[in-house]
């Protein structure tokens, strides 16, 4: 993709105060885009959004994605050309504790975004970010493809399956256009697990590693054999931007796309923690502590990303050991009081190089 496409473009991001949203803001501002973000206040303390002061470089609107009127007012004011929907309740274990909030945010939040887009003139392209967990997980050793059954089990995964169905309905009900070419291209991007500097979320393995490393404590691993596709946060973010750009240029490309690493990026949790310990360069220990009564989480999940590669010529750039090392580098920069914005700019430049 050509990041220069975004120079001068008006981009509206939901969920801009989150981990992925803050990185996306940095990418787009560096590209010269005019960015408006709509989201709740940052979800953790500390958080990447505040640590890097990105609010000074974007128009930040603090609001709830469930508030249709507030969202419509923000979008109408921003007059976006590109809409990237990232806002979500993203934690599986949290979805068991707060299922109603999870469905309200992830399902009706998507309805609200697409309804606002429907009534906002001038939008060229929309990408709804979901998850690899939208699929009915049969614990297969091969990757799921985009036509496989959508039936997430836990409330988070299921709510994201519903978000996919909402998007499908809006695409065909309101943005269908003629002769197979939509009047407004709307795609969904189903991304695997992401890691990177500045993620402080609870119940995620790399943030758990970071907290343990900073505190000098053992890294607790609940399910060391659980296998997931992991990738650095820059991988899916640039894929979202590529999809948004290319479908703006050719609306017929609007569809659903898996975004994940190659097979070597599928790591068992224990192996991922061991990789983090090596990257940290000593002094850390791993402690496996399975939870016998823990809520259900998938043991094996992998994506087939052939469609994204075939349609767009996309390829992942960083292996998982590199992604882990970049996460450690950012964390040590933060620990030492270094320039986080410069660290992120350097990593973005290296990724693009």
* CATH code where residue 183 lies: 3.40.50.720
Find the domain containing 76 and state its range: 3-352
What percent of the chain has a predicted confidence (pLDDT) above 70? Answer: 98
> Which residue is associated with the tokens 């299921």?
158
Instruction: Note the pLDDT tens digit of each residue in 246-267.
Output: 999 999 999 999 999 998 888 9
Domains in the chain, number: 1
Helix (H) or strand (E) holding 37: strand 34-39
- Distances from the Cα of 287 to the Cαs of 219, 290, 295, in angstroms? 6, 10, 20
Residue 282 pLDDT > 90:
no
Sheet containing 186-191, strands listed edge to edge, beginning at the edge strand earlier in sequence: 59-62, 34-39, 10-14, 82-85, 125-129, 186-191, 256-259
230-251 average pLDDT score: 97
pLDDT for 168: 97
145-172 average pLDDT score: 97
- Distances from the Cα of 297 to the Cαs of 38, 154, 228, 301, in angstroms? 30, 8, 11, 10
Helix and strand counts by DSSP (H, E) for the chain: 13, 12
Q: Enumerate the β-bridge partners of residue 228.
A: 267
- Asked whether the whole model's pTM tops 0.85, one would answer yes
Do residues 22 and 201 touch, judged by C-beta distance below 8 A? no
pLDDT bin (cut points 50, 70, 90) of residue 283 is confident
How high does pLDDT run on average in the chain?
95
């Amino acid at each position: 993709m050509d990041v220069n496409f975004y120079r001068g473009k008006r981009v509206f991001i939901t969920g801009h105060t989150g981990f992925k949203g803050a990185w996306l803001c940095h990418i787009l501002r560096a590209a010269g885009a005019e960015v408006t973000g709509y989201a709740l206040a940052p979800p953790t303390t500390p958080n990447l959004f505040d640590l890097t002061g990105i609010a000074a470089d974007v128009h930040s609107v603090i609001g709830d994605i469930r508030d249709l009127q507030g969202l419509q007012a923000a979008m109408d004011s921003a007059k976006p050309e590109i809409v990237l929907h990232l806002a979500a309740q993203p934690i599986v274990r949290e979805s068991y504790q707060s299922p109603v909030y999870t469905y309200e945010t992830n399902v009706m939040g998507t309805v609200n975004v697409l309804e606002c887009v429907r009534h906002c003139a001038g939008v060229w392209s929309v990408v709804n970010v979901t998850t690899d967990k939208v699929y009915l997980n049969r614990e297969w050793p091969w990757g799921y493809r985009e036509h496989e059954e959508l039936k997430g089990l836990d409330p988070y995964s299921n709510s994201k399956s519903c978000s996919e169905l909402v998007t499908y309905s809006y695409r065909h009900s309101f943005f269908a256009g003629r002769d197979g070419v939509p009047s407004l291209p709307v795609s969904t991007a189903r991304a695997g697990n992401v890691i990177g500097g500045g993620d402080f979320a609870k119940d995620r393995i790399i943030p758990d590693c970071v907290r343990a490393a900073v505190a000098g404590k053992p890294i607790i691993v609940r399910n060391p054999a659980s296998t997931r596709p992991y990738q650095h946060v820059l991988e899916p973010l640039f894929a979202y931007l590529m999809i948004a750009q290319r479908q703006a240029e050719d609306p017929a490309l609007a569809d659903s796309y898996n975004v994940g690493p190659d097979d070597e990026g599928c790591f068992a949790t224990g192996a991922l923690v061991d990789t983090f310990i090596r990257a940290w360069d000593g002094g850390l220990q791993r402690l496996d502590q399975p939870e016998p009564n823990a809520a259900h989480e998938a043991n094996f999940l992998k994506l087939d990303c052939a469609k994204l590669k075939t349609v767009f010529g996309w390829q992942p750039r960083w292996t998982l050991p590199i992604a882990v090392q970049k996460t450690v580098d950012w964390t040590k920069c933060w620990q030492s009081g270094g320039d986080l914005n410069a660290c992120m700019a350097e990593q973005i430049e290296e990724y693009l190089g």
